[in-house]
């Protein structure tokens, strides 16, 4: 009996020793050496990230613990960044959850099941998979529907976009695909996408403070615009690094995570990598598999499932009070149709005090010139190479 109890104790404590750690309200901070991470390669990640003056934060997580965390001057662990298109990966996860719950039958459902306006025209052949893989064939102008961002009713704008080519025939990164998720998710569940995200993912993984932006008509902007801290973006990355599991609770079905990280489209140089279900593939070979969520101006959540590594990088951002866009008398900005020019005009109007931004004025997420990455995008493959080898 004594030997049996000893054996059971060894097994029990061995299980505890190897149990996955999940952060509670606070993160446990460890070190590269304690988590068997190459310190020189970790230093390279930090150097590449902060060589770019636009970088606000870099957080590196190994085994669920923070092993490196650095912020630009005047920013800290509570400072918000904005996601831009990283949000696409958040809202796509809700599709996987709805499939698990039986609210959506499968990724191969025709979109018209949830958007009746698609049923009686040529868009009736588009599937949910087409939408999430950016292969819907919906019209793709040179502006990539950047004017949608400045439109008061962005959902109606998206619903009006016609079919341009055969679904599945060509990969085209089109924000309209992702904006449609707002209507698809609400039709399938009866709840707005922002409430779904908060209830089904954010609250459970410990994200208590975030801003989920809506357009001027109250439609959730499911293609962009989630504000939260770099630490909280890392929580979402950790959820996918752990196959959709959080503290022994399956939030996102593992099968959906596996399919997300299986790469539907592979690109040739100079782009390289691939894309699947609103995530990007950075490295995929017999030794390394790294996927990432990506947003305009330099927002990234990198996930290395095999080595339980998550790396988050965001750029400088000054949050504006509110969660609903209102461009007031400056709605004409959408007519410019070029993001860089629009940003320049925005900065001029704000600096000249012609346009007030914030309480009582224009409300919208906005990345200013100091938050637009420059050198990082040139060094991203070197960054990914060192990230892949952190645990080797």
Tokens 């020019």 sit on residue: 341
pLDDT of 291 higher than 70: yes
Least confident of 39-43, 65-69, 136-140, 282-286: 282-286
Q: Record the tokens describing residue 292, joined without a space.
A: 């990432």
Least confident of 185-189, 267-271, 341-345: 267-271
Residue with the larger pLDDT of the pair 17 and 113: 113
Query: What distance in Å separates the CA atoms of residue 364 and residue 355, rounded to the nearest whole number?
Result: 13
What is the pLDDT at residue 136?
98
pLDDT of 113 higher than 90: yes
pLDDT-based confidence at residue 271 (cuts at 50, 70, 90): low
Phi, psi of 188 (to 5 degrees): -75, -30
3-state secondary structure of 242: coil
| C-alpha distances in Å from residue 61, one per residue of 110, 240, 282 | 38, 13, 18
> What is the maximum span of the chain, computed from C-alpha positions, in angstroms?
82
What is the pLDDT at residue 231?
98
Average pLDDT, the chain: 92
What is the pLDDT at residue 19?
64
> Percent of the chain scored above 70 by pLDDT?
94
> Percent of the chain scored above 90 by pLDDT?
80
What is the pLDDT at residue 270?
62
Least confident of 23-32, 79-88, 143-152, 355-364: 143-152
pLDDT of 56 higher than 60: yes
What is the pLDDT at residue 335?
81
pLDDT of 104 higher than 90: yes
Q: CA dihedral in degrees (88, 160, 212, 373; nearest 10)? A: 50
What is the pLDDT at residue 342?
82
* Bridge partners, residue 127, by sequence: 110
Least confident of 82-91, 271-280, 371-380: 271-280
Least confident of 48-57, 135-144, 174-183, 304-313: 135-144
Residue with the larger pLDDT of the pair 270 and 159: 159
All structural domains of the chain with their residue ranges: 43-388
Residue with the larger pLDDT of the pair 198 and 369: 198
pLDDT-based confidence at residue 283 (cuts at 50, 70, 90): confident
Second CATH level (architecture) for the domain 43-388:
3-Layer(aba) Sandwich (3.40)
């Amino acid at each position: 009996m004594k030997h049996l109890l000893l054996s059971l104790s060894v097994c029990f404590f061995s299980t505890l020793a190897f149990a996955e750690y999940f952060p509670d309200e606070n993160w446990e901070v460890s070190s590269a050496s304690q988590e068997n991470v190459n310190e020189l390669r970790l230093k390279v990640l930090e150097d590449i990230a902060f060589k770019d003056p636009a970088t606000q934060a870099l957080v590196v997580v190994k085994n669920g613990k923070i092993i490196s965390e650095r912020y630009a001057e005047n920013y800290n662990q509570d400072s918000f960044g904005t996601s831009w298109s990283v949000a696409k990966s958040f809202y796509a996860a809700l599709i996987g959850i709805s499939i698990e719950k039986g609210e959506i039958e499968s990724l191969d459902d025709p979109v018209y099941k949830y958007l009746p306006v698609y049923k009686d025209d040529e868009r009736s052949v588009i599937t949910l998979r087409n939408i999430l893989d950016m292969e819907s064939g919906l019209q793709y102008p040179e502006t990539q529907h950047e004017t949608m961002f400045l439109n008061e009713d962005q959902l109606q704008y998206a619903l009006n976009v016609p079919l341009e080519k055969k679904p599945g025939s060509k990969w085209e990164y089109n924000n309209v695909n992702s904006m449609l998720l707002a209507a698809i998710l609400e039709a399938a569940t009866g709840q707005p996408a922002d409430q779904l995200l908060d209830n089904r993912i954010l609250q459970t993984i410990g994200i208590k403070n975030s801003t989920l932006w809506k357009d001027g008509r109250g439609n959730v902007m499911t293609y962009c615009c989630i504000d939260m801290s770099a630490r909280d973006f890392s929580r979402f990355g950790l959820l996918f690094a752990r196959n959709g599991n959080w503290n022994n609770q399956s939030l996102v079905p593992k099968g959906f995570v596996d399919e997300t990280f299986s790469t539907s489209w592979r690109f040739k140089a100079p782009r390289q990598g691939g894309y699947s279900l609103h995530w990007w593939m950075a490295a995929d070979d017999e030794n390394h598999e790294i996927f990432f969520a990506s947003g305009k101006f330099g927002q990234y959540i990198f996930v290395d499932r095999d080595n339980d590594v998550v790396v988050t990088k965001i750029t400088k951002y000054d949050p504006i009070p509110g969660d609903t866009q209102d461009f007031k008398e400056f709605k004409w900005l959408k007519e410019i149709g070029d993001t860089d020019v629009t940003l320049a005009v925005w900065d001029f109007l704000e600096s000249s005090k012609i346009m007030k931004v914030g309480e009582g004025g224009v409300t919208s997420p906005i990345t200013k010139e100091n938050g637009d990455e420059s050198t990082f995008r040139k060094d991203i493959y070197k960054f990914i190479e060192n990230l892949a080898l952190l645990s080797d």
